[in-house]
Amino acid sequence: MAVQVLGNIYKLIGEQETEQLCKQKLDMQPESLPANWAMYKLCRLKTDYRKALEYLDKCLKIIGPDQRQWLDYTMQKAETLVLAFSKTSDNKYLKDAIGVYESLLEKMPIIPVF
């Protein structure tokens, strides 16, 4: 719900003010999942994928691998790594994306449907 509120704030007051608000929240509460997630989304919108990945890694650390959100955030990480590779052609991003997709396969094995 907090992320939705921040999304509405973004629509009302804009990117810079929302980013400033999130940074203030992170200064007070570095483990704030909504603020880290909002910063991830803002950085991704600005195509600053390196910073977006830093905030997303923080989100993954906060929630831990036992939460359902972990899979969603991990899929977002793989997607962001692919976007970073597309933007920079840096093979490190591609290798990291492949590694993330492989970790997802370990968590969610493919089950044939017949």
Q: pLDDT tens across 92-110, in order? A: 999 999 999 999 888 876 6
pTM higher than 0.95, yes or no?
no
- Kindly state the average pLDDT of the residues 8-33: 82
Name the band, by pLDDT with cuts 50, 70 and 90, for residue 111. Answer: low
**Spatial CA neighbour of 1 closest among 39, 37, 30:** 37
- Cβ neighbors of 30 (< 8 A, separation 6 or more) are none
Per residue in 33-89, pLDDT (tens digit) is 988 988 898 899 889 999 999 999 999 999 988 888 899 999 999 999 999 999 999
Query: Are 22 and 39 in contact, with CB atoms under 8 Å apart?
Result: yes
pLDDT given for residue 1 in this prediction: 56
Domains observed in the chain: 2-107 (1.25.40.10)
